[in-house]
């Protein structure tokens, strides 16, 4: 595979950092909260699905890219190839994913996506990583953090395949700070 001809096919996806420590030693990545951004090259994409190859440190060297350059390139390609989708389940529950609904939780780090939803809903938000494929969003004012933590733990334990679990942490988006972080006992702090 000629990697240089595939630069426009490099995309990013999120994985849980602690569950992937061994893998992270061999691949370029960027840590974000308790997650890591990995990079993949799309080999083919069609009706039957998508095949990708994980970018290794050796491949990064072959591409002649720095960690920062692949990060910028993959971000741009991912936005272009996998635009975000927001679905409303109720007045207080939204789902965010990408157009392919594959590794769609990555949309939570698309610049401006959660901020726009926060403006629309008029306040701070909880972001629940229901799997690697999507995140659920609820206004802070509508639910208790301890309830969300328990719901996420139950979801990860009983309903999501082990390889599809993204995180055991609920995240908090501060409208004032325009930042997302791991929610702590006081929802207004990270």
Tens-digit pLDDT profile for residues 85-143: 999 999 899 999 999 998 999 999 998 999 999 999 999 999 999 999 999 999 999 89
Q: Band the pLDDT of 58: cuts 50, 70, 90.
A: very high
Residue 24 has pLDDT above 80, yes or no: yes
Residue 171: burial class (beta carbons within 10 Å; 0-12, 13-18, 19+): buried
Tokens coding 51? 């095949």
Q: Could you tell me the end-to-end alpha-carbon distance of the chain, in angstroms, rounded to an integer?
A: 43
pTM of structure: 0.90
Q: Report how far Cα 15 is from the mean position of its chain's Cα atoms.
A: 8
User: What are the tens digits of pLDDT across the range 141-160?
Assistant: 989 999 999 999 999 999 99
Give the residue carrying structure tokens 């791991």. Answer: 182
Average model confidence (pLDDT) across the chain: 91
Angle, CA 182 vertex, CA 108 and CA 144 arms, to 5°: 95
Q: Are 108 and 114 in contact (CB under 8 A)?
A: yes
Are 57 and 38 spatial neighbours (Cβ–Cβ below 8 Å)?
Answer: no
Q: How many helices (H) and strands (E) does the chain have?
A: 5, 10
Is the pLDDT score of 70 beyond 70? yes
């Amino acid at each position: 595979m000629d990697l240089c001809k595939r630069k426009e096919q490099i995309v990013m996806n999120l994985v849980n950092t602690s569950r992937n420590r061994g893998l992270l030693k061999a691949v370029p990545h960027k840590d974000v909260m308790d997650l890591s951004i990995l990079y993949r090259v799309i080999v083919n994409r069609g009706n039957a699905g998508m095949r990708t190859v994980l970018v290794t440190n050796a491949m990064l060297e072959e591409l002649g890219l720095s960690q920062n350059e692949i990060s910028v390139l993959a971000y741009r390609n991912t936005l272009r190839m996998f635009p975000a989708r927001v679905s409303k389940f109720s007045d207080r529950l939204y789902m965010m994913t990408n157009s392919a609904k594959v590794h769609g939780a990555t949309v939570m780090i698309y610049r401006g996506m959660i901020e726009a939803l926060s403006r629309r809903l008029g306040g701070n938000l909880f972001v629940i990583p229901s799997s690697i494929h999507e995140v659920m969003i609820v206004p802070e004012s509508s639910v208790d953090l301890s309830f969300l933590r328990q719901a996420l733990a139950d979801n990860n334990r009983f309903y999501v395949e082990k390889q599809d679990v993204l995180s055991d942490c609920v995240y908090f988006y501060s409208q004032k700070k325009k930042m997302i972080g791991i929610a702590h006992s006081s929802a207004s702090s990270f």
